[in-house]
């Protein structure tokens, strides 16, 4: 009788653990397809930072003022979803981005998507996404461009990571010009 109990116990334990591990595999696979490689893509989390207007910057993102005198701010009045977006504003010719570096796999395809709203953007290339694969020689990729005045527009770019590269800098960019641009809900997923 005691032997029988032990056998039942062993069978139950094996079944229980195989069921749990198969559930974990399913969750893992689902997560892999939809997970955003970018942190804080909706710009809802802020941290205190003197670099940003009102000393509030988006967590996990940094800014680059390439030229001119652009103002970069977390906007809590206008958003595509949630309560906040990021805004780049330039009254004189300026060039700036809000950016994050992401680890990627060489040779693999990724899909990037972003939402952009513009107000009186006059610029050589407008508002767009720029991807820079970092290495000895930088490799650039760009999304389509948004200029003028436009309500929220979806922009998308599918890229294949060049051989030998494993880091990409993803930039919400206002190319050289004037006007106001908002970015929100940026996403990067492995294809
Ligand atoms: Ca948001």
| Sign, CA torsion 169/42/189/181 | negative
> Do 119 and 58 fall within a single domain?
yes
Six token digits for residue 189:
């997923």
Residues 164 and 82 in one domain: yes
Identify whether residues 166 and 124 lie together within a single domain. yes
Residue-number span of the structural domain to which 18 is assigned: 1-34
pLDDT at 163: 97
Tokens of 112: 């990037």
Same domain, 115 and 180: yes
pLDDT for 41-75, tens place per residue?
Answer: 999 999 999 999 999 999 999 999 999 999 999 99
| DSSP class of 109 | E
For residue 32, how far is its CA from the centre of ligand 1 (angstroms)?
Answer: 23
- Poorest-pLDDT segment among 34-38, 48-52, 94-98, 127-131: 34-38
- Sign for the pseudo-dihedral over CA of 133, 105, 97, 130: positive
Ligand 1 mean position to 81 CA, how many Å? 5
> Does residue 145 carry a pLDDT above 90?
yes
Q: Is 40 a domain residue?
A: no
Question: Count of domains in the chain?
Answer: 2
Beta-bridge partners for 102: 168
Put residue 10 in one of left, alpha, beta given phi > 0 → left and psi -120 to 50 → alpha.
alpha
What SS3 state is found at 127? Answer: strand
Same domain, 67 and 106: yes
Does the predicted TM-score (pTM) go above 0.85? Answer: no
Tell whether the model's pLDDT for residue 40 goes beyond 60.
yes
For residue 24, the CA-to-ligand 1 centroid distance in Å is: 30
Model confidence at 22: pLDDT above 60? no
Q: Are residues 183 and 123 in the same domain?
A: yes
In a domain, 24, yes or no: yes
- CA–centroid distance, 34 to ligand 1, in Å, is 18
pLDDT at 13: 62
Asked if residue 39 belongs to a domain, the reply is: no
**Residue 30, pLDDT score:** 47
CA distance 83 to 114: 16
CA of 14 to the centre of ligand 1 (A): 45
């Amino acid at each position: 009788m005691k032997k029988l109990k032990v056998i039942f116990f062993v069978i139950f334990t094996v079944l229980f653990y195989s069921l749990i591990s198969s559930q974990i595999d399913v969750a893992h696979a689902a997560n892999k397809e939809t997970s955003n490689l970018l942190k804080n893509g909706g710009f809802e989390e802020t941290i205190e930072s003197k670099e940003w207007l009102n000393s509030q910057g988006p967590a996990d993102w940094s800014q680059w003022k390439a030229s001119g005198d652009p103002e970069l701010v977390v906007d809590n009045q206008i958003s595509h979803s949630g309560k906040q977006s990021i805004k780049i504003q330039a009254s004189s010719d300026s060039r700036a981005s809000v950016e994050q570096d992401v680890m990627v796999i060489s040779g693999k395809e990724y899909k990037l998507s972003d939402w952009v709203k513009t107000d009186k953007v006059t610029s050589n290339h407008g508002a767009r996404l720029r991807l820079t694969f970092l290495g000895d020689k930088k490799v650039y990729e760009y999304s389509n461009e948004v200029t003028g005045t436009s309500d929220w527009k979806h922009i998308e770019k599918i890229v294949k990571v060049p051989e030998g590269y494993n880091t990409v800098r993803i930039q919400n960019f206002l190319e050289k010009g004037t006007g106001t641009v908002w970015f929100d809900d940026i996403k990067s997923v492995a294809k």
